[in-house]
């Protein structure tokens, strides 16, 4: 303890005319239990109130605070300084549109992909307010939940070499979100319908299987498993007859 | 993007309450625009892990449950401060509201037939007939197991399902957009002035109906479990009109068990022990039937008493007590207390199977908010509605039961959304361009003065910190007349200083300091509403505890506080209205086993 930490932070406000990208160093004395959230908040409040970054839940649940911490995509609220060297470099996540400094538009990216892939439950059945709920096997529910858990932080996308060279690729998070609906018996889409949105280079066939995604997921999602499941299902759907 | 947007329904806030309301209005053919500080899926609602109360009565431990029991639990939990018309509507609607979200994709945990071991090691057996129905777990203050859950991510699962419906219905969402003032003509609310948090640009949004769904204001307090964006914006917007009223702002809930330094709630489902610095298990001294889970306000007071008696543990983040779950065993903790274990490990470096967990009560929830009628219509301004934690629909009175808040968001969204739609369908858009221009100019003038540094040189963050300290110290778990008088005086002084903020950043574009400076005066006014309402209420009820008036006083105080802020006032004006008692007259408050 009692270290003097140096934070090298990427600075740039693209929406403000006349500013240029640069790095800026800030110094802080380390305090007990300090994480990047506490450090950045102190820097903003005590040293530079123009510093932009995003935190909401500060407990690794909302997915707002992904950034490159010493080169690795991490949730800043879940990253503690005691595990880091005295010099800490912070960059915004690549892939996403920069809002300012460390703040990027992950929300816009995920919304776009969700619309493009129809990432919601598709059912034709009307809701009957007085009827009891349809039964569902809890094992199935847990499988759905395992994919549902993704908080859309974007760390896996920042770590994926393919996303960098092919901006249309929906990445592990995009595929995982669709897997969540494929696993859900309440969703009425056929394999062929899923193939429409997943059976391409921008979908599952864009993945090169290098697993940068899973290694960097702060929520430990089994992305390899989900990618394999979707690849299998889509390969079968691609070979089989079109339609239902 | 153009400077003025026109729509049928404008919803401020994309948490569960806002999105559920928007879905209801859009499903009735109306054009809806939602504004949000953050992408919808980052709203505070996603951080609610626990669950949601609805009397489905599926589990063997829920057998015999009914909306009637849910009603009784809610009213008693609220210490009779709740509106019983609203409670009745809520408990009757909750089961359907939950089932509807199952249709939208929420992966509710389901019952599996067979034997199951509970935290206290008792064994229960679920019957074959219940297999596959929505499960429930035990939550404090509920007679039956009534809290439906989606593994350890109920709020997340609900938010993603609702946001999926919002996407599928083509509802427009402008995220990173902050409403900074309501546009109104003295009688009707016509829209809002908003600031883009990407560019700093100011825009007007006009609508037939405006819904405040901006969530709670926990961040007024120095220590809170709330997301960092929960600063009560919607409450300030309403209060600043001078017309709308805030209900029961003194009714604040403190979560007993939060983990420093991030103050994350850690719940162990009632199986743990609270210990003081001598490792003394102190709860039984106060709650003889120790198998009962006392109300949150009661537990929080017992803990704070220990700390004040010098029996707290001095930690790097202030005094705390210990939560002990070691006796539950690694297996149980890893399987049933997954999120508690993860929080301890990731945020405090603690292994709860072998180590004690530091905990302390901090601000958690506000029962108060923009006062509405049972339809969600705000007092004082036509066309303005409020839902969710931002509203005082008055389901929770002076103490909210765990699990009733998520339930409120979807039930109120359903009920109020319908009323909003009916209102908007019968309403023509009427506004004059001069009125809109006036409101825009007033806000742009505020911005210009701040950027030009014309107001003074106060530091916004320093003032905000002082406000948080004043509230935590004097309007916290224990309150006294003299402490609250001190708080009111200090906050009134802060209110004057809050008008004199100078920016260190220059305030260009969307810099965060400018946003903070715009919000601060409204936040201090909310803090004053809390302190003044708490000072006036010379009784103790639920989460509002006055050491100098320790008993509930139904003769004088079976009423709801209404605070409003006339233009130019230094402190709020307080009025009162009776609480609707329709079914259950006030009686003794004891937590169910
Ligand atoms: C840690 C924690 C755990 C909890 N767990 C539970 C639980 O298990 N069960 C339960 O019942 N309750 C729980 N609660 C309470 C519950 O989570 C909240 O009361 C509920 O989620 C509030 O939902 P909401 O939609 O009203 O507001 P929020 O989810 O807070 O949404 C507010 C929305 O308003 C937007 N907004 C705010 N200001 C503005 C502005 N000026 N302009 C535009 N948009 C704005 C925000 O961007 C956000 O989208 C918990 C609370 C906490 C703090
Ligand atoms: S899969 Fe993991 S890393 Fe990727 S967005 Fe989801 S939570 Fe983040
Ligand atoms: S496996 Fe590799 S290519 Fe495929 S999504 Fe993950 S990181 Fe990208
Ligand atoms: S702030 Fe929510 S995940 Fe980090």
* Full 3-state SS string of chain A: CCCEEEEEEEECCCCCCCCCCEEEEEEEECCCCCEHHHHHHHHHHHCCCCCCCCCCCCCCCCCCCEEEECCEEEEHHHCEHHHCCCEEEEECCCCCCEEECCEECHHHHHHHHHHHHCCCCCCCCCCCCCCCCCCCCHHHHHHHHHHHCCCCCCHHHHCCHHHHHCCCCCHHHHHHHHHHHHCCCCCCCCHHHHHHHHCCCCCHHHCCCCCHHHHCCCCCCCHHHHHHHHHHHHHHHHHCCCCC
Residue A185: inside a domain, yes or no?
A: yes
- This complex has an ipTM of 0.97
Question: CATH number for the domain including A188?
Answer: 1.10.1060.10
Question: CATH number for the domain including A75?
Answer: 3.10.20.30
Considering B296, B302, B479, B519, which one is annotated as catalytic? Answer: B296
Residues A90 and A10 in one domain: yes
Taking alpha carbons only, the member of B290, B418, B411, B304 closest to residue B362 is: B304
Place of tokens 């948090």: B197
Residues A189 and A84 in one domain: no
Round to whole Å and give the CA distance between B198 and B175: 10
Q: Which pLDDT does position B117 carry in this prediction?
A: 78
pLDDT at A24 over 60: yes
Residue A223: inside a domain, yes or no?
A: yes
Sheet containing strand A72-75, edge to edge, reads A22-29, A4-11, A87-91, A66-69, A72-75
Select from B44, B135, B503 the Cβ nearest to the Cβ of A56: B44
The rounded average pLDDT for each run of 10 residues, N- to C-terminus, in chain B (593 residues) is: 86 98 97 98 96 96 96 96 98 98 97 84 90 93 94 96 98 98 97 97 97 98 96 98 98 96 86 89 57 78 94 94 91 86 94 96 97 98 98 98 97 98 93 93 96 95 98 97 98 98 93 96 98 98 97 97 96 97 93 69
Select from A51, A119, A137 the Cβ nearest to the Cβ of B164: A119
Which residues 6+ apart lie within 8 Å of A198 measured at CB? Answer: A117, A175, A178, A204, A230, A234
B296 is catalytic: yes
How many angstroms away from the CA of B314 is the closest CA of chain A? 13
Number of structural domains, chain A?
2
Angle at the Cα of B585 from the Cα atoms of B579 and B590, rounded to 5 degrees: 105
Which residues 6+ apart lie within 8 Å of A178 measured at CB? Answer: A117, A119, A194, A197, A198, A230
Residue A81: inside a domain, yes or no?
A: yes
Among protein residues, the one whose CA lies closest to atom 5 of ligand 3: A172
Give the domain extent around A135.
118-239
Residue A9: inside a domain, yes or no?
A: yes
Interface test with A, best of B38, B55, B96, B107 (most A CBs within 10 A): B107
Is it true that the peptide bond before B261 is cis, omega within 30 degrees of 0?
Answer: yes
Residues A134 and A94 in one domain: no
pLDDT at A204 over 70: yes
Whole-number Cα distances in Å, B348 to A152, B223, B342, B344: 24, 17, 10, 5
Q: Does A138 touch chain B (CB under 8 A)?
A: yes
Beta carbons of A166 and A202 less than 8 angstroms apart? yes
Q: Which residue of B has its CA nearest to A145?
A: B107
Residue A112: inside a domain, yes or no?
A: no
Residue whose CB lies within 8 A of the most ligand 2 atoms, among A61, A155, A230, for a mutation test: A155
At which of A104, A128, A161 does a domain end? A104
Round to whole Å and give the CA distance between A23 and B524: 36
pLDDT at A244 over 50: no
Q: Which residue of B has its CA nearest to A138?
A: B110
Q: Ligand 1 in contact with B362 (CB < 6 A)?
A: no
B170 Rama sector, left if φ>0, alpha if ψ -120 to 50, beta otherwise: left
Q: Which pLDDT does position A17 carry in this prediction?
A: 83
Residue A109: inside a domain, yes or no?
A: no
Residues A25 and A98 in one domain: yes
At which of A81, A104, A127 does a domain end? A104
Q: Which pLDDT does position B292 carry in this prediction?
A: 61
């Amino acid at each position: 303890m009692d270290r003097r930490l140096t934070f090298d932070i990427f600075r740039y406000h693209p929406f403000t005319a006349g500013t240029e990208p640069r790095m800026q160093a800030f110094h802080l004395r380390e305090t007990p239990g300090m994480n990047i959230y506490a450090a950045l908040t102190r820097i903003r409040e005590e040293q530079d109130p123009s510093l932009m970054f995003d935190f909401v839940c500060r407990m690794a649940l909302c997915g707002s605070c992904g950034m490159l911490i010493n080169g690795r995509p991490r949730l800043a609220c879940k990253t503690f300084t005691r595990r880091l060297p005295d010099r800490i470099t912070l960059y915004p996540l690549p892939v996403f549109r920069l809002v300012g400094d460390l703040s990027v538009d992950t929300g816009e990216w995920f919304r776009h992909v969700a619309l493009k892939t129809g990432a919601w439950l598709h059912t034709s059945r009307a809701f009957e307010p007085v009827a009891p709920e349809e039964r569902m096997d809890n094992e199935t529910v847990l499988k759905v939940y395992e994919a549902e858990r993704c908080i859309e932080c974007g760390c896996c996308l920042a770590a994926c070499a393919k996303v960098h060279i092919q901006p249309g690729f929906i990445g592990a998070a995009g595929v995982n979100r669709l897997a969540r609906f494929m696993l859900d018996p309440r969703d009425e889409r056929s394999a062929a319908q899923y193939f429409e949105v997943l059976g391409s280079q921008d979908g599952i066939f864009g993945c090169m299987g290098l697993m940068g995604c899973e290694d960097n997921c702060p929520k430990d999602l089994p992305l390899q498993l989900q990618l394999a499941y979707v690849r299998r299902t889509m390969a079968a759907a691609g070979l089989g007859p079109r339609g239902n | 993007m153009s400077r003025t947007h026109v729509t049928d329904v404008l919803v401020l806030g994309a948490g569960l309450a806002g999105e559920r309301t928007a879905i209801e209005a859009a499903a009735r053919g109306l054009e809806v625009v939602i504004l949000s500080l953050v992408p919808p899926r980052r709203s505070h609602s996603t951080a609610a892990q626990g669950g949601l109360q609805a009397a489905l009565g599926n589990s063997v431990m829920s057998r015999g449950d009914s909306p009637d029991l849910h009603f009784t639990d809610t009213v008693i939990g609220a210490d009779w401060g709740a509106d019983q018309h609203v409670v009745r509507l809520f408990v009757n609607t909750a089961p359907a509201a939950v089932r509807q979200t199952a249709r939208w994709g929420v992966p509710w945990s389901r019952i599996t037939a067979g034997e199951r071991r509970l935290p206290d090691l008792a064994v229960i057996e679920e019957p074959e007939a219940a297999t596959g129905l929505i499960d429930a777990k035990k939550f404090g203050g509920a007679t039956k197991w009534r809290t439906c859950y989606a593994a350890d991510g109920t709020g997340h699962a609900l938010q993603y399902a609702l946001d999926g419906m919002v996407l599928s219905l083509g509802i427009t969402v402008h995220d990173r957009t902050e409403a900074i003032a309501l546009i109104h003509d003295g009688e009707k609310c016509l829209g809002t002035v908003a600031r883009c948090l990407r560019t700093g640009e100011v825009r007007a949004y006009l609508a037939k109906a405006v819904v405040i769904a901006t969530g709670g204001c926990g961040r007024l307090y120095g220590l809170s479990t709330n997301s960092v964006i929960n600063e009560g914006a919607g409450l300030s917007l309403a209060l600043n009109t001078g017309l709308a009223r805030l209900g029961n702002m003194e009714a604040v809930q403190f979560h007993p068990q939060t983990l420093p330094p991030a103050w994350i709630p850690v719940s162990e489902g009632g199986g743990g022990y609270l210990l003081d610095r001598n490792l003394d298990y102190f709860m039984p001294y106060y709650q003889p039937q120790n198998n009962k889970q006392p109300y949150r306000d009661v537990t929080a007071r017992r803990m704070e008493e220990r700390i004040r008696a010098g029996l707290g543990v001095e930690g790097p983040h202030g005094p705390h007590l210990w939560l002990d779950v070691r006796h539950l065993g690694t297996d149980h903790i890893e399987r049933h207390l997954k999120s508690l274990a993860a929080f301890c490990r990731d945020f405090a470096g603690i292994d709860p199977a072998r180590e004690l967990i530091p905990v302390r009560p901090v601000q958690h929830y506000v029962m108060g908010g923009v006062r509405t009628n049972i339809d969600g219509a705000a007092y004082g301004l036509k066309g303005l509605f409020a839902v969710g934690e931002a509203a005082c629909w008055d389901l929770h009175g002076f103490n909210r039961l765990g699990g009733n808040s998520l339930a409120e968001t979807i039930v109120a969204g359903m009920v109020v959304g319908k009323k909003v739609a009916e209102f908007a369908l019968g309403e023509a858009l009427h506004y004059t361009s001069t009125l809109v221009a006036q409101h825009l100019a007033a806000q742009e003038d505020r911005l210009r003065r701040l950027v030009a540094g014309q107001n003074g040189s106060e530091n916004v963050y320093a003032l905000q910190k002082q406000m948080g300290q004043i509230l935590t110290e004097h309007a916290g778990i224990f309150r006294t007349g003299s402490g609250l008088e001190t708080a009111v005086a200090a906050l009134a002084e802060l209110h004057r200083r809050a008008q004199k903020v100078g920016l260190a950043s220059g305030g260009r574009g969307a810099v965060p300091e400018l946003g903070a400076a715009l919000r601060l005066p409204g936040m201090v006014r909310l803090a004053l509403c809390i302190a003044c309402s708490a000072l006036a209420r010379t009784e103790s009820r639920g989460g509002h505890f006055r050491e100098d008036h320790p008993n509930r006083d139904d003769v004088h105080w079976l009423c709801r506080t209404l605070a409003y802020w006339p233009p130019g006032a230094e402190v709020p004006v307080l009025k009162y209205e009776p609480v609707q008692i329709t079914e259950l007259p006030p009686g003794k408050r004891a937590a169910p086993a």
